[in-house]
Structure 1
């Protein structure tokens, strides 16, 4: 029996969908199916009922699931405790986060946290990963902290409801465009039915899920998608070049708005406000991680006073 079989099973039990679970585990669907069958052969009983859609757990699967979760946690903890006891004495804090927050928020916020006691050695797991992958990294206990934007219109936020988090701030997400010669937006946003040349987020990104429910559906906007990318910085670059309208965090566009390379493409009723949150793993992987969380709590309290 291999640890990855248990991790595969826990993921499949969460999604009840082989395609989504395979994406979560970063393997092909056929590889996931093969490994689940290997686990079932090891157990000696079917764990997944494949006769229904979506799939569901068998009675044996429901009985096996809590033990599988506990085993995964125990084995990961064993590895981490061994590393902590015999590895490098300098603990590295692991963050899963979004590329925009790496650029615009993390450096100044980290300076405030370290002012209360530091420094801390940090690393990002995958700063350019999808939102769903970042959330899954926290669920698998493969990072200490998850630093993300948050909005109620994003379904995955419900999956995080049982994790402790701090609200670190808020951010306006605004529509921007290159200016025309008269200073008006080259690509303006109006609710009059006209097609808007749109610089779109990829489907698996946070804002691809937040914007439709929070803005687009309410405003009855019609888009001609001319470019797609999961990264706000890439969409900003295309907007500066005059290719269309992009909705990006305002902090990412401050310099371009000040220099006139970008202008607002819509009035503030087309903005959305998102929170900046720090989620913690159920099991922080070292003493320094606990200290960091306590200092982050103090910074959050100071910001919200």
Structure 2
């Protein structure tokens, strides 16, 4: 029996959907299905009832679930306690986060964090292609902190409701496009006319989950998806090259808008506002994590970040 089989089972028991659980585990759906069957063969009983939609746990699966969770927690705790004992003098804080926040928020925020005290050693945990995968790192205690955008319409954010959290700021997510020769958007968002070329987030990313309820369900725009990527920076690059419009965090586009390389592609009423939050595990993995959390509380909300009028 392998630890990853138990982790797969925990993920599937959370999502009750093989596709979502596979995204969470950063593997293919066929690989997840194969590993779940291997776990069932090891257990000697079916744990998942595949005859229903969504899938559900069998009676054996229900009794197996809490024991599987304790087993995974125990093994993860063993690893972390061993690391703490032998790497205490070389503590490195691990962050699960988003690529945009790495570029636009983290450097300025860390400057404030370290302004009145000793510096911290930090690193970013290996990123998953799915937002739920990054959230799961916190659930599994594989990182010290989760630094993330937050919007109530994203299911994984609701799953974090019981975790310690600090609100660090907020920003708008705006529709942008390359300009035409007259400085107007090459791809303008409208409710009528021909469909506009749309640069879309991949289904498993944070903004792919936030935009439908925050924007598209309120205004039935006609969009022609021509490109998909989970990274805002990649969508910005395609927008600058004239391929379509995209919604991206304003901090990522502010310089290009000021220089005229990008323009707004929709009215401000079609912006969405997201919070920037820091979550931490219930069980601090090292002493410096507690010190860092206190510093973050002292810094509070960053209210003077660069933004557009």
* TM-score with structure 1 setting the length: 0.91
Distance 2:68 2:124 in 1: 28
Q: Give the 3-state SS of the residue equivalent to 2:170 in structure 1.
A: strand
| 8 Å contact kept, 2:174–2:264 | yes
Q: How far 1:177 moved relative to its partner?
A: 1.4
Distance 2:82 2:41 in 1: 31
Distance 2:113 2:4 in 1: 36
Look up the match of 1:245. 245
Change (3 A) 1:302 1:53: closer
| 8 Å contact kept, 2:169–2:302 | no
Look up the match of 2:175. 175
Distance 1:210 1:18 in 2: 21
Change (3 A) 1:207 1:28: closer
Look up the match of 1:293. 293
| 8 Å contact kept, 1:193–1:221 | no
Distance 2:227 2:36 in 1: 38
Does residue 1:142 correspond to 2:142, yes or no?
Answer: yes
Number of equivalent positions: 304
| 8 Å contact kept, 2:24–2:130 | no
Look up the match of 1:255. 255
Of the structure 1 ranges 150-159 and 99-108, higher mean CA displacement relative to structure 2 is found in 150-159
| 8 Å contact kept, 1:199–1:239 | yes
Distance 1:175 1:207 in 2: 12
Q: Give the 3-state SS of the residue equivalent to 1:282 in structure 2.
A: coil
| 8 Å contact kept, 1:165–1:277 | yes
Q: Please list every run of 5 or more consecutive structure 1 residues that lacks an aligned counterpart in the other structure.
A: none
RMSD, aligned CA: 2.2
Q: Give the 3-state SS of the residue equivalent to 1:200 in structure 2.
A: strand
Distance 1:150 1:227 in 2: 24
* TM-score with structure 2 setting the length: 0.90
Q: Please list every run of 5 or more consecutive structure 2 residues that lacks an aligned counterpart in the other structure.
A: 305-309
Cα deviations by residue, 1:36-82 (Å, 9 ceiling, x for unpaired): 34434444444333333322222232222222212211211111111
Look up the match of 1:111. 111
Of the structure 1 ranges 137-146 and 119-128, higher mean CA displacement relative to structure 2 is found in 119-128
Distance 2:145 2:220 in 1: 37
Q: How far 1:107 moved relative to its partner?
A: 0.4
